[in-house]
Amino acid sequence: MLKILGGFIIGLVFTGFMAYNMAPSMMFEERVSPFGLEETVARIQQNIENTGNGWALAGLRNPAKAVQQDGGNTLPVIMIEACSTKYSGPILKDDSVRFLSILMPCKISIYQKNDGKTYIGNMNSGLMGKMFGPMVGEIMGKVAIDQANFLKFDPSKPAPEMKRGTPGGGGAGGAPGGGGGC
């Protein structure tokens, strides 16, 4: 009996240790872009606009700029924000999960590292959604599918222009069914 209990406790400790060490790499995804920073941003922006499902660009932020203005030296970081009221609406209407508004709008980060390459970082929406019950899990599963389409690049197509500023108008405007500021 003692061996079984000891094995169970060791199993729990091992599982907890593995979950603690693996959770960050499961919750967030990072990939190298085949393009430079601005071209990567422009292609993702275009993909968001072409995905459908009410997606609209909600904003474009440069968190590195504030660090640079404060005298710091940092490599470029640009965050694209996108939203679809088709997906955000049901979550924002439900009191029990409205706190998830902290995750809205959907953000994709494009940044450079010291190796000179451009990277794309995003949240694993499908996995995150499963932690908050069936309704959120189903919605975030659909978001994950769309998000994968945001990150598909066709190098045979010419690069679009990068949209600067707040593409969705920063408010509730934007594309039909979208809404730049959700």
Closest CA to 136 of 179, 93, 77: 93
- How many Cα atoms occupy the beta-carbon half-sphere of 66 within 13 Å? 4
Quick check: helix, strand or coil at residue 77? strand
Mean pLDDT of the chain: 84
Buried b (16+ CB within 10 A) or exposed e, 139-169: bbebbbebbeebbebeeeeeeeebbeebbbb
Q: Percent of the chain scored above 90 by pLDDT?
A: 59
How large is the average pLDDT for residues 93-106?
92
Which residues, in sequence order, are bridge partners of residue 122? 29, 108
For residue range 28-44, list pLDDT tens digits in order: 899 999 999 999 999 99
* CATH, domain range 27-182: 3.30.310.70
- Calpha distance 91→125 (Å, rounded): 14
Question: Which residue type does 81 have?
Answer: E
For residue range 154-169, list pLDDT tens digits in order: 999 999 999 987 655 4
Q: How high is the pLDDT of residue 148?
A: 95
Q: What is the C-alpha end-to-end distance of the chain, expressed in Å?
A: 56
Closest CA to 165 of 83, 81, 90: 81
Q: How high is the pLDDT of residue 83?
A: 94
- Calpha distance 106→58 (Å, rounded): 9
Each domain of the chain, given as residue ranges in start order, spans 27-182
- pTM for the full model? 0.79
Quick check: helix, strand or coil at residue 58? strand
- Calpha distance 97→92 (Å, rounded): 7
Contact between 163 and 43 under an 8 Å Cβ cutoff? The reply is: no
Quick check: helix, strand or coil at residue 135? helix
How large is the average pLDDT for residues 88-99?
94
